[in-house]
């Protein structure tokens, strides 16, 4: 790791220790179940974020984990903006820039470039009942992602899926549409839980010089929040992502389906009398057998700073 990357990692850890930072840190990922950038009383938001991912191991198609002897990682920078034309509807746009590297003994390779562009519509369909109503119903939201292939495709992983791949955030090489929903419920004054799920389909492409069709993708996510004050929240989140088998030249490639399980912690801090929100995410793909399969596991540290008004 270069001195600059090492400094970034130290900075990210320092932020985790001394600055209370975001529950839904949108730090860029191929599978994302994060919430909206704005609330129902806001009109717009702009956000800048950065994340560092360091690979620790990989799972084969049978779910057997092996620790890697390579220096492999991803540095990702993200910018996003969101606007609410109505109180219950948010439209957002996300752009990314990514650098990846792989070093093993005397072999070394690096790549950088723009990532895919993602647009999302988020609809707060049903509000949570007021506390005095004593009703059990959660708040219900639905969202639609559209991912455009504006990024450079990593040819070394082009015949596989995208979960945990170092170049997945850079470019899928094809269009992807995802439909998802979130249920959220508050318990007592300071606790909140949420369950999210989404499913995505990809169009066929010939980005790598041959006919290819990435498999469908699904994501399930559970999260919990503790809000000790109006300015701070702390959260835990776990996600399980899945991708179907890839088809090349019209033939499905056996053994290319993927699963990836991650667990993480999040914090956010909104300084009093400001429109700023500082957020932090730390997550890891646990190095255990059987749950994940045919994927690369990483430790990720990410932060974001948003202006919301």
| Domain spans in the chain, listed from the N-terminal domain onward | 3-308
The whole-number pLDDT of residue 19 equals: 30
Residue of 131 and 306 predicted with greater confidence: 306
Residue whose tokens read 């092996």: 66
Q: Which of 241, 257, 295, 304 is nearest to 276 (CA)?
A: 304
Q: Work out the angle at residue 33's Cα, subtended by the Cα atoms of residues 30 and 36, and round it to the nearest 5 degrees.
A: 115
Q: What is the mean predicted confidence (pLDDT) over 105-116?
A: 88
The whole-number pLDDT of residue 187 equals: 87
| 52 has pLDDT over 90 | yes
The whole-number pLDDT of residue 293 equals: 95
The whole-number pLDDT of residue 9 equals: 43
pLDDT band at 106 (very low <50, low <70, confident <90, very high): confident
Q: Work out the angle at residue 259's Cα, subtended by the Cα atoms of residues 258 and 262, and round it to the nearest 5 degrees.
A: 140
> Rounded mean pLDDT of the chain?
86
pLDDT band at 11 (very low <50, low <70, confident <90, very high): very low
| 172 has pLDDT over 70 | yes
Q: Which CATH class is domain 3-308?
A: mainly beta
The whole-number pLDDT of residue 129 equals: 86
* Helix, strand, coil percent values for the chain (each to nearest 5): 5, 55, 40
The whole-number pLDDT of residue 35 equals: 87
Cα–Cα distance between 164 and 262 in angstroms, integer? 10
The reported pTM is 0.86
Cα–Cα distance between 52 and 282 in angstroms, integer? 10
Name which of 27-31, 49-53, 87-91 the model is least confident about: 27-31
pLDDT band at 22 (very low <50, low <70, confident <90, very high): very low
Residue of 1 and 249 predicted with greater confidence: 249
pLDDT band at 145 (very low <50, low <70, confident <90, very high): very high
The whole-number pLDDT of residue 21 equals: 29
């Amino acid at each position: 790791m270069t001195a600059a990357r090492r400094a970034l990692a130290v900075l990210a850890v320092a932020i985790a220790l001394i600055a209370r930072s975001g529950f839904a840190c949108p730090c860029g990922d191929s599978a994302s179940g994060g919430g909206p950038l704005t609330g129902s009383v806001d009109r717009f938001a702009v956000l800048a974020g950065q994340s560092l991912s360091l690979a620790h191991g990989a799972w084969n198609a049978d779910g057997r984990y092996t620790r890697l002897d390579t220096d492999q990682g991803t540095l990702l920078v993200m910018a996003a903006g969101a606007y609410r034309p109505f109180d219950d509807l948010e439209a957002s746009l996300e752009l990314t820039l990514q650098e990846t590297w792989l070093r093993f003994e005397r072999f070394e390779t690096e790549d950088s470039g723009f990532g895919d562009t993602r647009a999302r519509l988020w609809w707060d369909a049903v509000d949570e009942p007021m506390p005095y109503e004593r009703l059990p119903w959660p708040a219900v939201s639905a969202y639609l992602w559209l991912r455009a292939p504006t990024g450079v495709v990593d040819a070394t992983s082009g015949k596989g899926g995208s979960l945990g791949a170092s170049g997945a955030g850079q470019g899928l090489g094809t269009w992807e549409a995802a439909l998802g929903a979130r249920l959220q419920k508050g318990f007592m004054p300071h606790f909140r839980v949420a369950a999210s799920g989404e499913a995505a389909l990809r169009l066929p492409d010939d980005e790598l010089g041959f006919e290819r069709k990435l498999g469908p993708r699904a994501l399930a996510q559970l999260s919990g929040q503790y809000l000790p004050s109006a300015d701070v929240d702390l959260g835990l989140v776990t996600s399980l992502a899945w991708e179907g088998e890839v088809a090349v030249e019209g033939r499905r490639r056996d053994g290319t389906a993927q699963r990836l399980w991650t667990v993480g912690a999040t914090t956010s801090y909104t300084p009093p009398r400001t429109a700023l929100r500082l957020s932090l995410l730390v997550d890891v793909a646990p190095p255990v057998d059987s749950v994940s399969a045919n994927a690369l596991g990483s430790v990720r540290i990410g932060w974001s700073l948003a202006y919301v008004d």
